Amino acid sequence: MTSDTTPVVELDDVHVSFTSGFGAGRRRVHAMSGVSFSVAPGETLGLVGESGSGKSTTAAVVLGLQRPDTGAVRFEGAPLARSLRSRAGRIQAVLQHPRWALDPHSTVLSCVLEPLLVHERRSSEVDDRAVAMLENVGLEASFATRRPDQLSGGQLQRVSVARALVTHPAFIVFDEAVSALDVSVQAQILNLIQDLQREHSFASLFISHDLAAVRYISHQVAVMRAGEIVELAPTGIFYDLPSHPYSRQLFQELSS
Ligand code: ADP
Ligand code: MG
């Protein structure tokens, strides 16, 4: 049985490597090397690091889309179920480009309904839940019949958040979820995520190369470099006094 102290997601010494290139150019990339962390219920772990440091691979491992070479991934205390179906809806994702993630030919309502229909038949009650979730992310019911190409980037990302939340997941991965948005819209979406986390108490992994966004939203911060987590600390401590030289360097590079 899980208790309140059981982490929602736990990675233990996870390694993932890829081979790329051909012939003499063939090489092995260590996308994740000995990555360990845990995320408690209702908490957000921020993951920062420059491009290519292994952040999205970590997201894929948490989502069960990438199997580790070695190491363990636990969800609510048990090995992450191999079957996508049994896990469906319990771990959700919000990615960078909602225009790619949402089917341009379907309505906003269908986009939000889709994850529910893995386990349930469509009914007016199910539709009502999806519309209620749209309202929960600040989109009035009239958005339900619109198509994704009629929405702004910020509105689309609200739809992505509604689609992630509609199954009441225990965990949500945000991979550069606000990075493509204008700064003022970013702030709105970050506020929304924070409010929804208080209301729905999901745990999350918030991936970004934006240190300010991560600071705002995260309870803990992990810094990734070349596949390794070089520093992991509570947000307040990390931003007051990053201890690893690379973290300090990242502060300088990313804030310049
Ligand atoms: P980030 O999200 O931090 O930019 P990624 O996790 O996407 O980093 O990538 C980490 C490293 O692994 C990079 O060197 C990338 O080129 C490599 N990589 C990621 N996915 C694959 C893949 N499917 N095949 C080969 N190399 C990959
Ligand atoms: Mg990435």
pLDDT band at 11 (very low <50, low <70, confident <90, very high): very high
**DSSP 8-state class, residue 122:** -
Domain that holds residue 113: 41-68+82-255
pLDDT tens by residue, 119-173? 899 999 999 999 999 999 999 999 999 999 999 999 999 999 999 999 999 999 9
Residues 6+ apart with CB under 8 A from 196: 136, 137, 161, 165, 202
Listing DSSP states for 16-85 in one string gives: EEEEES-GGG-EEEEEEEEEEEEE-TT-EEEEE--TTSSHHHHHHHHTTSS--SEEEEEETTEEPPS-HH
- How many Å separate Cα 149 from the centre of its chain? 23
- Residues enclosing ligand 1, CB less than 6 A? 18, 20, 29, 31, 49, 51-57
Residue with CA nearest ligand 1 atom 14? 52
Please give the number of the atom of ligand 1 that sits closest to the Cα of 54: 6
Residue 1 resides in a domain:
no
Determine the pLDDT at residue 81: 66
AA identity, residue 207: I
Instruction: Give the count of domains, the chain.
Output: 1
Residue 36 resides in a domain:
no
Determine the pLDDT at residue 244: 87
pLDDT tens by residue, 64-87? 999 999 999 999 998 986 655 667
Determine the pLDDT at residue 82: 63
User: Does residue 3 carry a pLDDT above 60?
Assistant: no
Task: Choose between 7 and 247: higher pLDDT.
Answer: 7
Contact 156/99 with Cβ under 8 angstroms?
yes
pLDDT tens by residue, 41-64? 999 999 999 999 999 999 999 999
Residue with CA nearest ligand 1 atom 25? 18
Length of the chain: 256
Torsion of CA 92, 226, 30, 221, to 10 degrees: -30
Residue 34 resides in a domain:
no
Residue 163, CA distances (Å) to 22, 115, 217 in order: 40, 7, 20
Contact 171/9 with Cβ under 8 angstroms?
yes
Tokens encoding 55 = 């952040």
Query: Distance between CA 125 and CA 117 in Å, rounded?
Result: 12
Which candidate, 133, 83, 98, places its Cα nearest to that of 112? Answer: 133
- Compute, in angstroms, the gap from residue 226 CA to the centroid of ligand 2: 13
Residue 183 resides in a domain:
yes
* Segments of 50-193 assigned E as strands: 70-75, 78-79, 91-94, 171-175
Whether pTM exceeds 0.85: yes
- Compute, in angstroms, the gap from residue 143 CA to the centroid of ligand 1: 36
**Relative to the alpha carbon of 95, which ligand is closest?**
2
Please give the number of the atom of ligand 1 that sits closest to the Cα of 60: 6
Q: Across the chain, what does the average pLDDT equal?
A: 91
Instruction: Provide the CATH number for the domain around residue 158.
Output: 3.40.50.300
Contact 88/115 with Cβ under 8 angstroms?
yes
pLDDT band at 204 (very low <50, low <70, confident <90, very high): very high
Lowest mean pLDDT among 84-93, 206-215, 239-248: 84-93
Indicate the top mutation candidate among 14, 15, 18, 206 to test ligand 1's pocket, ranked by most ligand atoms within 8 A of CB. 18
Which candidate, 36, 32, 29, 115, places its Cα nearest to that of 67? Answer: 32
Calculate mean pLDDT across residues 189-217.
94
User: Does residue 234 carry a pLDDT above 80?
Assistant: yes
Residue 26 resides in a domain:
no
Determine the pLDDT at residue 18: 96
Residue 31 resides in a domain:
no
Residue 59, CA distances (Å) to 12, 64, 79, 122 in order: 14, 9, 16, 30
Residue 15 resides in a domain:
no
Determine the pLDDT at residue 87: 73
Residue 56 resides in a domain:
yes
Helix (H) or strand (E) holding 9, with range, is strand 9-20
